[in-house]
């Protein structure tokens, strides 16, 4: 597992989860310059045989179109490998970006990492939190 990033602007931290998942924590600004770091972490996990990923976005402050593309690709890669790609701890700014782009509905979003991890082990997955449709 590893940690890398370019100073305080963006970091990616990957660690094993408690239920056979991989936790990937992304903090800072996910954009054109930093997207490849997250993409590489997700692809490494999937190719290593760990396609059940919880993406902790509790420290993510900004998300642009490149970041959206990285998240969508991560979702597709995990599903293609028989796993799942969930998001935990989504902050209002990135949530608004996902909603505005019309892709929020593609992701299972949970308030905590623990709840996201539990969704992988229960035959009838815990439903993700309902996202409000009101503008913020």
User: In the chain, where are the structural domains located?
Assistant: 3-117
Looking at the domain 3-117, which fold is it? Transcription Regulator spoIIAA (3.30.750)
pTM over 0.85: no
pLDDT at 121 (0 to 100): 66
Assess whether pLDDT exceeds 80 at residue 5.
no
> Tens digit of pLDDT for each residue in 24-47?
999 999 999 999 999 999 999 999
The owner of tokens 């370019």 is 6
CB neighbours (10 Å) of residue 12? 21
Strand partners, 23: 15, 54
Q: Which of 29, 15, 20 is nearest to 59 (CA)?
A: 29
Distance, in Å, from the CA atom of 7 to the CA atom of 120, rounded to the nearest integer, reads 33
Distance, in Å, from the CA atom of 120 to the CA atom of 112, rounded to the nearest integer, reads 14
């Amino acid at each position: 597992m590893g940690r890398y990033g370019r100073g305080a602007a963006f970091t990616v931290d990957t660690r094993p989860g408690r239920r056979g998942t991989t936790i990937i924590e992304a903090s800072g600004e996910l954009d054109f310059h930093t997207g490849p770091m997250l993409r590489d972490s997700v692809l490494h996990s999937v190719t290593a045989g760990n396609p059940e990923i919880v993406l902790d976005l509790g420290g993510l402050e900004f998300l642009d179109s490149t970041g959206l593309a990285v998240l969508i690709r991560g979702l597709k890669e995990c599903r293609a490998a028989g796993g799942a790609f969930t998001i935990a701890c989504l902050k209002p700014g990135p949530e608004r970006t996902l909603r505005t782009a019309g892709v929020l509905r593609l992701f299972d979003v949970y308030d905590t990492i623990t709840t996201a991890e539990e969704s992988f082990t229960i035959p009838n997955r815990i439903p993700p939190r309902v996202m409000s449709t009101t503008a913020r």
